Amino acid sequence: MPPAPRYTQEPWRETFSEIIDVRSPSEFAEDHVPGAINLPVLNDEERAEVGTVYKQVSPFCARKIGAALVAKNISQHLRGHFATKGKDYSPLVYCWRGGQRSASMATVLSQIGWRITLLEGGYKTYRTYVRQQLAILPTQFTYKVLSGLTGSGKTYILQKMRQHGVQILDLEDIAKHRGSLLGQQWKGKPTPQPSQKFFESLLIEKLLTLDPREDVWIESESNKIGKIYLPPSLWGEMKKASCVEIQLPIKARVQFLLQEYPHFMDRPDLLKVKLEKLKNRHGWEKISQWYQMIDSGEWEKFVEDILFCHYDSTYKKSMQNKFSRVDKVLSMSDLSDSSIENLLDYLVPKYASMT
């Protein structure tokens, strides 16, 4: 006799062949268990259709229509995704509340003979877990903040630190944004940011991999990265942390930024649109000057001027208000590998000596 589906409220304590989210694509896009795949038993249009019939006709008619659609979609998944799964396949399945959608998928899969686990309470159980972890987990670490003016290579240095075995928390990578007006990530095209909820899911996933016994290096950020807000628990710990400030010559900062933001030179029209948002702060005369530099291809002059007029003053004010505990100020001539190696030897010698 095929095994009946089992239930769990703590799937993060177990290992599964796969985690299957059977909600609609839009629900999945807003947030999901990291690593889950989306095999909807009702897509967005079908879910809306069933909901309309439920309200305007009757629950009975809605259930009939829904059952037919669910059967059709599960059949497609069986012929596609599940076709190559072996006998030892044992996935976790969940929907919004752990109701009919996940139960329908689990019933069919268990009848085949696979051992299926259902998340009791569905996504809502998972989301409750994330909220609980957001309040507690960030406070369990000791953070060290890497600060410095725009173009000082803070994220780049953090990535080098990670290569040396240092624990880092790269919030900009999780948020898919560099935190400033021009900070949208770009990989051939604009990289969309995750939703607030999915950012929080990814943050918890990352924090769970870190060792509370070791320092966690983090970049000086605002409490808002693009459209994403940091959880108050993490933000509070960051403001209490000791800081190491990186100082880099202006020319080196300009060259680094030109390397990091080539898409603006390829699409100056997009750059101008973003700069227009600074008109209330700097006035049209300054915006027009920047436009002229862009049009004439004076990129080094433009970057140096916007750093001097906008970014540096903004950053210094932010640091005074949020990260005033600067324990060390370290000067670098450039961001070459040798300069960063020397920096790491000073900051984290026990890790740097391992390379």
Q: How confident is the model at residue 350 (pLDDT cuts 50, 70, 90)?
A: low
Q: Would you give the DSSP letter of residue 137?
A: G
Domain boundary among 132, 159, 176: 132
pLDDT in tens, 175-224: 999 988 888 888 778 889 999 999 999 999 999 999 999 999 999 999 99
- Angstrom distance (rounded) from CA 267 to CA 41: 41
Instruction: Please identify, among 103, 132, 161, the residue that sits at the C-terminal boundary of a domain.
Output: 132
Whole-angstrom CA distances from 28 to 25, 40, 87, 176, 252 are 5, 9, 27, 18, 43
H runs (alpha helix) in the chain: 25-30, 44-56, 59-79, 100-112, 122-136, 154-163, 171-175, 196-207, 232-240, 250-260, 262-266, 268-275, 279-295, 299-306, 312-322, 337-347, 349-352
Q: Which two tokens stand for residue 182?
A: 């021009």
Res 322 pLDDT > 90: no
When pLDDT is averaged across residues 292-314 and rounded to a whole number, the result is 95
DSSP state of 51: H
What separation, in Å, do the N-terminal and C-terminal C-alpha atoms of the chain show?
A: 56
User: Which CATH number belongs to the domain containing residue 289 in this structure?
Assistant: 3.40.50
pLDDT of residue 187: 77
- Does 44 score more than 80 pLDDT? yes
Q: Which of 98, 132, 166 corresponds to the end of one domain?
A: 132
Q: In the predicted model, is pLDDT for residue 355 greater than 50? A: no
Mean pLDDT for the stretch of residues 72-84 = 98
Q: How far is CA 70 from CA 13, 30, 81, in A?
A: 30, 22, 16
Strand 143-148 relative to strand 216-219, pairing? parallel
305 and 160 in one domain?
Answer: yes
When the pLDDT of each residue in the chain is averaged and rounded to a whole number, the result is 93
Q: Which domain holds residue 101?
A: 6-132
Residue 38 sits in the same domain as residue 90: yes
**pLDDT > 70 in the chain, percent:** 98
C-alpha distances out from residue 316 to 15, 80, 170, 244, 324, Å: 47, 56, 21, 14, 10
Alpha-carbon torsion, ordered 223, 226, 229, 234, to 10 deg? -50
Domain assignment of residue 339, yes or no: yes
- pTM comes to 0.93
Q: What is the pLDDT of residue 179?
A: 87
Identify whether 322 is part of a domain.
yes
Q: Is the pLDDT of residue 265 over 50?
A: yes
- The per-residue pLDDT for 353 is 47
Catalytic residue among 61, 95, 243, 309: 95
Q: Is residue 1 part of a domain?
A: no
- Examine the residue annotation and report whether 95 is marked as an active-site residue of this protein: yes
pLDDT digits (tens, 9 = 90+) for 140-184: 999 999 999 999 999 999 999 999 899 999 999 999 999 888 888
CATH of the domain at 33: 3.40.250.10
